[in-house]
Amino acid sequence: MEREVRVRFAPSPTGPLHIGGVRTALYNFLLARKTGGKMILRIEDTDQNRFVPGAEDYIRESLEWCGIELDESPWHGGPYAPYRQSERKPMYMQYAMQLIESGHAYYAFDTAEELDEMRERLKAAKVATPQYNAITRMTMKNSLTLPEDEVKKRLESGDPYVIRLKVPRKEEVRLKDLIRGWVMVHSSAIDDKVLMKSDGMPTYHLANIVDDHLMQITHVIRGEEWLPSAPLHVLLYRYLGWEDTMPEFAHLPLLLKPDGNGKLSKRDGDKLGFPVFPLRWVDPFSNEVSSGYRESGYIPEAFINFLAFLGWNPGTQQEIFSMEELANEFTIERIGKSGTRFDIQKARWFNEQYLRAKPDAELAGYLLKALEEHNISCSPEKAEKIAGLMKERVSFPQEFWREAAYFFVAPTEYSEKVASKKWNSQAVAVFTDFRNELSTLSNFNADTVKDLLTSILERHGMKLGMVMQALRLAVTGAEAGPDLMQIIEVIGREETANRIDAAISALGHYVTA
């Protein structure tokens, strides 16, 4: 019988959650939902020196905003609790001891100075990558080189020590990656990693393997940066006797800078003018502020849709997917091997598509909120109509107010570029008649307004295109925008007449005899 699919996202609370981490969480979540499995979140906080206050809450809030639902976590509980590694500390030593007893790990008593001396010796000997391994371990102070009674004495007297994995000297370690195929690494390229630190806390490598086994994780989907550690993890599964239930691995391609030159780092976003974090982050130590997608006006569904396509594709022309559709279509086999360039313009495009697909009544909410902040009253019906007119012209919710302000505030400045070309005595004559005859319309709407303007233009022997830009300037102060007749319908006949009067007065110096 096949095992239930169980995946995990295991961030460390060392700062804000990078967009690459969100993508990792998303792909895990999609696989869980596709297969009817479980999505687990585990906080990997074994390195207490790197702990950052507020980081865990940030991770939780980010995933909630993204719509990535968790089945088991520190906050939801679950059958394999606790889900913070720091709270699981007592259980790791027994597995380290199991490795020592089976001859696959050993105690190492080397001081920091002795380790530095070892590295300097290797550098002087032109060793490319100095490391504590099958060769160098025999020159160091550990339970493989020291007499048994001395090892016992050191342990009983409380001498500081670490526990290291005993990596074989000549062995090929094979791993089948679901994205990259077979990965083979010679054991001589793997160092004797520390499994238990001198403070009694496990390192990532041991805790990760133990927790994935105990939590019955079936698939490990993680970033490419963990691929070099994968052979080490295979050895740990083997030595602990868990190779038969070892999860399948999939190492995701890197997210690259927009120019494709290197990995997208935490600092690149603000430098290049776009967020690399889902939410705004304020560093608790430096008070440095980093922008977030939520605060920049991205809709979470659009953000997720964009993120899903950074490394994966459905194999069709379809680009707009709901979370449910993404889960239905998602397969690890369609994740690419090579890095993906980050394209913020594509993220913007996704946001525009999601905004335009929303009902006008929902979009009106964004506008009404901004109007409230500016102490401007507006009926929901009017806001809905304005939102409908503006939605093709905005990329973010906050732009509704910025782009539609002229619906509520008459212009006080006019484009010199348009005025110098389009504002003339013929236009003023048409606008004067138009302003005076607006009051004659019994049914005031965009169609009747346009009919009135057309008839006045015919009397003056002019065409619509000759005055439209100048009329838009008078009514809105802008050079472009949605249908002008619709704008006039919304702002009303009296306000339109007042704005034409104001423009004729303000732009009189452009009128030539």
**Active-site amino acid positions:** 266
Number of Cβ within a 10 Å radius of residue 7: 24
Helix (H, G, I), strand (E, B) or coil at 354: helix
Tell me: cis bond preceding 82? Omega within 30 of 0 counts.
yes
Residue 312 β-bridge partners? 335
68, 323 in Cβ contact below 8 A? no
Q: In this structure, which amino acid lies at residue 353? A: Q
Residues 6+ apart with CB under 8 A from 317: none
Q: What span, in angstroms and rounded, lies between the C-alpha atoms of 82 and 70? A: 15
385, 490 in Cβ contact below 8 A? yes
257 is in an annotated binding site: no
Residues 6+ apart with CB under 8 A from 307: 19, 22, 23, 26
Edge-to-edge strands, sheet with 219-223: 38-41, 6-9, 219-223, 248-252, 172-177, 181-186
Q: In this structure, which amino acid lies at residue 136? A: T
Q: Supply the DSSP symbol for 77.
A: B
Pairing of strands 6-9, 38-41: parallel
Residues 6+ apart with CB under 8 A from 259: 341
Q: What span, in angstroms and rounded, lies between the C-alpha atoms of 91 and 374? A: 57
Q: What span, in angstroms and rounded, lies between the C-alpha atoms of 125 and 374? A: 71
Positive/negative CA dihedral, 113, 117, 118, 123: positive
Helix (H, G, I), strand (E, B) or coil at 221: strand
* Residues that constitute the known binding site for ATP: 266
* Residues that constitute the known binding site: 266
